[in-house]
Structure 1
């Protein structure tokens, strides 16, 4: 379901705006060789004011990716690009603002379908489909300052020591991923 952004066009008003803005920027077509996938809260309708548009990608060559990202988006407001290592995995990340959305383009040398952001979203979407009443609780926790994964751990009564890992474990134990 999440391998294209077409579903956004029939979603809520923020999803429709996201579809329009992402399409206007041509991100999905301009970066097609990196298999871009929109992840995060907007696709599963738990976004709040200020939620960004997270687009993850599989990036083998950071130098080429950086060149292309700077060329395409370097002129937009609040543009920044960084490279770092997260849990022993090199990543590259670009942020910028466009049409009242903050974008985060995230790349690592891993299939997008195996990246944690995608797996978390799949698990969270499944939980919300099974228990729609949790949507409002998650949104309320996010408004209180909770990040998404810690909010899910709280409503699912999972240990909060490492919510990102606990959510993945939950997904595996329950056959979601």
Structure 2
């Protein structure tokens, strides 16, 4: 299985993955986020992205120290950043959205290890399902996403899952 905790796999991926790697390296995104254990999650790592898909970066952030987190990454000094606090699955979260070149970027932080966050767990489950079900299934997921259906619901439709957000965590 791919080690999704290390960005090097992007260097030998498809064109969009290679470009994502270049942009993330150019702006030293993961270097700036290193104290927060960043992981690239979502659709680009598992090659089911569509036009406009963002680079989802999940981080472990002690939200009591949110100001330090924002200061540490310093994106707010480089580019306009929209930061907001929210509750996701009962957990306090911080979400930062901005653009780096052609990529929308979303940095998502929760006070739990990055690899234990739902976004990462969903991606791993989806990766395993894609490997098991093959290219035809992958293309069906991409087609559903092109129609505007989010990733987890797309898997839910094709796999007849009652609650895809919960059910994918069981894989």
Q: Give the unaligned 5+ runs of structure 1.
A: 172-177
Structure 1 residue runs of 4 or more that deviate by more than 4 Å after TM superposition: none
- The one of 108, 120, 123 equivalent to 1:121 is 123
Which secondary structure does the structure 2 equivalent of 1:131 belong to?
A: helix
1:63 aligns with 2:56: no
Structure 2 equivalent of residue 168 of structure 1 = 169
C-alpha displacement at 1:30, in angstroms? 1.4
C-alpha displacement at 1:73, in angstroms? 4.1
C-alpha displacement at 1:131, in angstroms? 1.2
- The one of 85, 88, 98 equivalent to 1:86 is 88
Structure 2 equivalent of residue 144 of structure 1 = 147
Q: Is the 8 A contact 2:122 2:169 kept in 1?
A: yes
Structure 1 equivalent of residue 40 of structure 2 = 38
C-alpha displacement at 1:84, in angstroms? 1.5
Q: How does 1:151-162 map to 2 (within 5 A)?
A: 151-159=154-162, 162=163
For normalisation by structure 1, the TM-score amounts to: 0.90
Instruction: Report the Cα distance in structure 2 between the residues aligned to 1:106 and 1:63, rounded to whole angstroms.
Output: 15
For normalisation by structure 2, the TM-score amounts to: 0.93
For this pair of structures, how many residues does the alignment match?
166
Q: Is the 8 A contact 1:138 1:152 kept in 2?
A: yes
Instruction: Report the Cα distance in structure 2 between the residues aligned to 1:41 and 1:81, rounded to whole angstroms.
Output: 22
- Pairwise CA RMSD: 1.2
